[in-house]
């Protein structure tokens, strides 16, 4: 069978890419494993995503956002960022003439809406299979599946997670950076919520993020050194609650952990390239960054948007030119977010009174400089 585009990967980014390309009138095939595994994600579907305005607008355009129950979405009206000296940077939706700075949603609610949209599409599926081999010719790429079937396509998209099989089969190398941290993921119920997202940058590179949910609950992502993480896991909810309250109670009041810990090692991955002969990588397959920015899924959805514009653009352009356009257009934002997260991590890993003072001065200057705040907000939300 021949396709215009074949996509490997049935996670959020894979499905979004498929729906977007199919909306252009292309014949799209989606290849999905029985248990679609997105490495380093929370497997039970309760993982919390914070989507920016650009991602939400794209999902609205695809007809996905309106399929999500409003009760499943929490608006983020304010973002508060604090340094290790309690210096503060604040962003407010009202002050920026925005309806919200972002939106939080459970992974399973977003996947459910995407699956609803899939049922009304003309996408062709291959379930319970894996890609065994690739063969690229001048006019098409052939994909052999684990059941022996061979599919042909003008373009193959690898949207199959950080552990991408497509990337490996295409022999695209990559560099991995180990932050020597783990992220603890869980939920709390607090006295105060109010649609405010919080983030604390603390000594030794520790980052604590609270993502607002309904009923005064927050999704927590706590990035700590491996040693500290092991101590917190050994100490269980009692120790973690004590530590957490000492950091957050001034802002959200008394809080209680309401589910079990999940955790994952924090690394970033950068492939040597995101394109090949009639092949392109999107989402985590195209690279990952430190989760402190909360931009991983937003970058993946942006990949889907950029690829759709590149492929659906000039009909006369060669596939190589279209993929080069995709590569160039995504590179700047990814580089900014990667450098920002690496830089902040290294900055807060530095110890000493003078370093802490300088970090505080930086926070103070940033908070008072509106043009910097608007630039940061624009980068994060589009």
Phi then psi for 270, rounded to 5 degrees? -130, 110
Q: Give me the residue label for tokens 């931009």.
A: 295
Query: What is the C-alpha separation between 280 and 274, in angstroms, rounded?
Result: 6
What structural domains and CATH numbers belong to the chain? Answer: 2-176+266-381 (3.50.50.60)
Instruction: Compute the CA torsion angle 280, 281, 283, 286 (nearest 10 deg).
Output: -140
CB-side neighbour CA atoms (13 Å) of 82: 16
- pLDDT for the residue 231: 94
Give per-residue pLDDT as tens, 246-262: 999 999 999 999 999 89
Q: What was the pLDDT predicted at 39?
A: 36
- Find, among 248, 356, 350, 342, the residue nearest to 293 by Cα: 342
Q: What is the pLDDT of residue 40?
A: 35
User: What are 128's two structure tokens?
Assistant: 């319970």
CA dihedral 72, 114, 103, 243 (to 10 degrees): 70
At 73-83, the pLDDT tens digits run 999 999 898 88
Predicted confidence at residue 360, as pLDDT, reads: 63
Could you tell me if residue 283 is left (phi over 0), alpha (psi between -120 and 50 degrees) or otherwise beta? Answer: left
Q: Which residue has the higher pLDDT, 282 or 344?
A: 282
Q: What DSSP designation does 20 have? A: H
Percentage of the chain exceeding pLDDT 70 = 85
pTM, to two decimals: 0.90
User: Which of 302, 320, 300 shows the shortest CA–CA distance to 311?
Assistant: 320
Q: Which of 82-96, 138-152, 362-376 has the highest mean pLDDT?
A: 138-152
Q: What does the alpha-carbon distance between residue 220 and residue 294 come to, in Å, rounded to a whole number? A: 12
Token pair recorded at residue 298: 């937003």
pLDDT of residue 38: 38
Question: 287 with 268: CB under 8 angstroms?
Answer: yes
Q: Please state at what angle helix 12-22 crosses helix 53-61, rounded to 10 degrees.
A: 50
pLDDT of residue 33: 81
- The Cα 321–Cα 324 span in angstroms is 5
What is the per-residue pLDDT for 95?
77
Residue 288 DSSP code: B
Average pLDDT (27-43) is 64
């Amino acid at each position: 069978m021949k396709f215009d585009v074949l996509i490997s990967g049935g996670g959020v980014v894979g499905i979004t890419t498929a729906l977007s390309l199919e909306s252009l009138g292309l014949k799209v095939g989606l290849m999905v494993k029985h248990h679609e595994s997105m490495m380093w994600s929370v497997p039970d579907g309760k993982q919390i995503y914070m989507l920016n305005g650009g991602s939400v607008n794209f999902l609205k355009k695809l007809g996905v956002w309106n399929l999500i129950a409003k009760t499943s979405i929490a608006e983020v009206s304010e973002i508060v960022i604090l340094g290790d000296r309690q210096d503060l940077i604040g962003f407010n939706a009202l002050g920026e003439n925005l309806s919200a700075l972002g939106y939080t949603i459970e992974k399973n609610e977003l996947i459910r809406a995407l699956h609803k949209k899939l049922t009304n599409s003309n996408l062709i599926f291959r379930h319970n299979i894996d890609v065994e081999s690739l063969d690229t010719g001048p006019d098409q790429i052939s994909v052999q599946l684990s059941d022996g079937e061979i599919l042909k396509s003008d373009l193959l998209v690898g949207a199959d997670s950080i552990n991408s099989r497509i990337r490996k089969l295409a022999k695209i190398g990559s560099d991995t950076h180990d932050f020597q941290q783990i992220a603890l993921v869980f939920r709390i119920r607090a006295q105060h919520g109010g649609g405010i997202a919080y983030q604390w940058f603390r000594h030794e590179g520790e980052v604590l993020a609270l993502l607002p949910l309904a009923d005064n609950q927050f999704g927590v992502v706590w990035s700590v050194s491996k040693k500290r993480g092991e101590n917190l896991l050994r100490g269980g909810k009692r120790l973690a609650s004590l530590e957490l309250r000492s950091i957050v109670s001034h802002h959200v009041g008394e809080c209680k952990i309401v589910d079990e810990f999940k955790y994952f090692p924090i690394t970033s991955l950068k492939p040597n390239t995101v394109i090949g002969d009639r092949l392109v990588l999107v989402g985590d397959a195209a690279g990952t960054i430190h989760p402190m920015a909360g931009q991983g899924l937003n970058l993946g959805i942006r990949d889907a948007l950029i690829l759709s514009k590149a492929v659906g653009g000039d009909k006369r352009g060669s596939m190589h030119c279209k993929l080069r356009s995709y590569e160039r257009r995504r590179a700047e934002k990814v580089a900014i977010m990667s450098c920002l997260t690496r830089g902040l991590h290294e900055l807060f890993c530095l110890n000493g009174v003078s370093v802490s003072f300088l970090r505080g001065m930086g926070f103070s200057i940033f908070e008072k400089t509106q043009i910097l705040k608007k630039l940061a907000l624009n980068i994060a939300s589009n």
